[in-house]
Amino acid sequence: MTEPNSLLPHAAPASAIDDCWRRIGVTGDRTCPLLATHITCRNCPVYAQAALVLLDTLAIDPIVQPASDSDTPIDPSSADRLAGESYMVFRVGDEWLALPTAALGEVTAPALVHSLPHRRHAALIGVAAVRGALLTCISLALLFGESAESAE
C-alpha cells in the first residue's frame, strides 16, 4: 500500500519557478512584453507553466495495491498486533478503507475546493485553503482507477 508520506507535497526548488508575474506582470511593474498579448498573467503560458511546475512537485504514487478479498479471514496473530491501534474508516465507491490515525495530521470540516486549469491527472480535483495553507484535493476513487461516473 502507498505510504502516507508519499502523498505529502514536496517543496519545489525556488530556481525552478520564475515568478515573473510578481516582478514584471500585473502584480509587479507591468513591463512584461507579453501583457499586451495576454492582457493578464493568468492567460500567459509562462504563468500556466509555473503552475504545472508547482503541481508536479506533489508526489502522488500512481501505483496502488489492489484491496484484499474481504472474505479472507484475519490471521489471529495479526489481530493481536492490531488490537491497540486506531483507524479512520471511510468508503470509496464500493470499497471500505481504513487509515491509521497516526498517519493523519488533522480531520477538518469540508472546505471549498477551487478547480485548477490544465490538470495533468484526472484525480486532481483542485486546491482548498485549510488554516491558511493551500492543500491539494484528490479523488481517491479516480486515483484507484474507478470511472468518473462511479466516483461521484
- pLDDT digit string, tens, across residues 53-104: 777 765 444 444 444 555 555 565 665 565 667 888 888 888 888 888 888 8
Instruction: List helix spans (H) across 26-131.
Output: 35-38, 45-56, 76-82
Output the nine-digit C-alpha cell for 128: 482548498
Confidence (pLDDT) at 150: 53
Number of H helices, E strands in the chain: 6, 5
Tell me the β-bridge partners of 89: 98
Residues 6+ away with beta carbon under 8 Å from 129: 111, 112, 135
pTM over 0.85: no
Backbone conformation region of residue 93, classed left if phi is above 0, alpha if psi is from -120 to 50, else beta: left
- CA dist 72 and 69 (Å) reads 6
For the chain, how far is it from start to end, CA to CA, in angstroms? Answer: 23
Candidates 110, 134, 121; CA nearest to 56 is 121
Q: What is the pLDDT of residues 110-145, one digit of tens each?
A: 889 998 887 778 888 888 988 888 888 888 888 887
**In this structure, which long-range contacts are made by residues 65-73, counting pairs with CB atoms below 8 Å and at least 24 apart in sequence?**
65/1, 65/2, 67/95, 67/97, 70/96
Output the nine-digit C-alpha cell for 7: 502523498
